[in-house]
Amino acid sequence: MTATTVDGPIGAAVAEGTLPGRVWMYANYHCNIACTYCLTESGPRAEARVLGAQAMLDVARQAAELGFTDLGVTGGEIFLRPEMPELLAEMSTYLPVIALTNATLFARRLLDRIEVLAGLPVALQISLDRPDPDTNDAMRAPDNFAKVVAAIPELVTRGIAVRIATTVSSIDDVELDRLCALHRGLGVPDTDHVIRPIVARGRAVDHGLGVSAAVSDLPAELTITADGAFWSPFGPTVHGGLLDTDLLITRTTAPLAVPAQALLRLVEGQPRGADSTLGIR
Amino acid sequence: MSAMVGGAGDLLIRPGQVPLLARPYYADGDPGPIVAALAQVPELLETAMPFLGAALGPSGIDWRTKEIVIVRTSALAGCRYCVQAHSVVALDAGLSHEEVRALRTDIAVADAFAEPRELALLEWVDVVAGTGPVPDDARAAVRRLWADHEVVELTTLVGATLLLNRFATALALPTGPDTAARLATEGLP
């Protein structure tokens, strides 16, 4: 295989905007809560599907070498892995990291350990869907709202960059205004608040939630999991306990150039397969 | 862990779950169980299929000859899926019922084949697809009637067929309903 570097085709594609700059990793699939719209059917009894720490560091290093610009880490609840604060810190030596968390595990001990991220290019993106406990917790978990609004100021005070992610089918202006007032009061400005739709994959399907998302609807963000490389972080979803493969790119994830080049080939609309006309079945 | 539990059907990628790199292979509908299984590993599929296409598909060697090799090899390997699928293909390629039955070891080769080149080829296939060493005299015999490039290509075809034989047998790939119906019509099991 031809070695690819930041000056190679992947780096060029990222620089010209053909490929998104962020590489995502699914650190794990298990979670301490089970949201009704969860893409991955995560929960306490979900299969962990852990992407090993060394594998994550290798992805981070190779992503930088290839010319990607950012890293994303998601799950599952990533802080169920005790090594996560130090792992995120080390990953950020390669590229800036955004890490998704439900922020319900930030008891004193974890808060102390997460101080290692202060001042580093690591942002924690915390889920907060509604400005009221009842409506927020109905789709997430009991006491979720209380834990989140308690954790955010603790993190901000410690110098940890925090973003808020609101995942909803719809939200009216009044409720959104109250939600924004809430996150501002917690120390998170509007520029660090994202609102995204529920996608009809995973557990959301069983609850009749979300919008359908075809491959053309999803940015081609390379996403690495223990099961392979996918088109988007919305790709490696789980439904009925089975991993969805419709957005699978390759099972090979190392070296990262393999799925990155396959992704670029797909983005450029040049998949192979003309030999299928040979009738070899 | 993946969906690979239970019977062979669980191994096959379902239509709504076709990975991106595998989608061209599904463009004309059901691609068959070999593709549907290999689609579990898309990068393997898109590497394997061009090779398998070159080895088993149209080439400088005529269709009839290639199907003689494929059916005979599959029969010696005991591959139910490949024997059934390629018995039909062999008939389409112009082989007679008797010839197909001989390739499947139902009757003696000498009772169905008489052409010296084909007999030499079948002796070569029987050696290559078997176990153990390949005697020099067997190699010399086939080279007397077949050009060097043909020997190389046909030997590769035996090897590629054996790969598919073990793949299809190990994964218990299901015979398609169209193939089963055709075999029944033709009176072949």
The residue written with tokens 């954790």 in the block is A151
Predicted ipTM? 0.85
Q: Which helix (H) or strand (E) holds A111?
A: helix A108-114
* Contact assessment for residue B103 and residue B83, using Cβ atoms and an 8 Å cutoff: no
* Contact assessment for residue A249 and residue A259, using Cβ atoms and an 8 Å cutoff: yes
Q: What is the pLDDT of residues A197-229, one digit of tens each?
A: 999 999 999 999 999 999 999 999 999 999 999
Beta bridge partners of A225: A228
The C-alpha atoms of residue A149 and residue A163 are separated, in whole angstroms, by 13
* Contact assessment for residue A40 and residue A236, using Cβ atoms and an 8 Å cutoff: yes
Q: How many CB atoms lie within 10 A of CB A32?
A: 15
Q: Is A271 touching B (CB cutoff 8 A)?
A: yes
The C-alpha atoms of residue B167 and residue B171 are separated, in whole angstroms, by 6
B33 contact residues in A (CB cutoff 8 A): 281
The predicted model scores a pTM of 0.90
Say which amino acid occupies B112.
A
Say which amino acid occupies A269.
G
Q: What is the pLDDT of residues A103-115, one digit of tens each?
A: 999 999 999 999 9
Q: How far is CA A78 from CA A88, A236, A258, in A?
A: 10, 16, 26
Interface with A, mutate which of B11, B13, B20, B25 (most A CBs under 10 A): B20
What pLDDT tens digit does each residue of chain B (189 aa) get? 343 334 566 899 989 999 999 999 999 999 999 999 999 999 999 999 999 999 999 999 999 999 999 999 999 999 999 999 999 999 999 999 999 999 999 999 999 999 999 999 999 999 999 999 999 999 999 999 999 999 999 999 999 999 999 999 999 999 999 999 999 999 998
The residue written with tokens 């079948």 in the block is B122
A249: tokens are 């790119």
**How far is the alpha carbon of A68 from chain B, nearest alpha carbon, in Å?**
22
Phi, psi of A248 (to 5 degrees): -70, 140
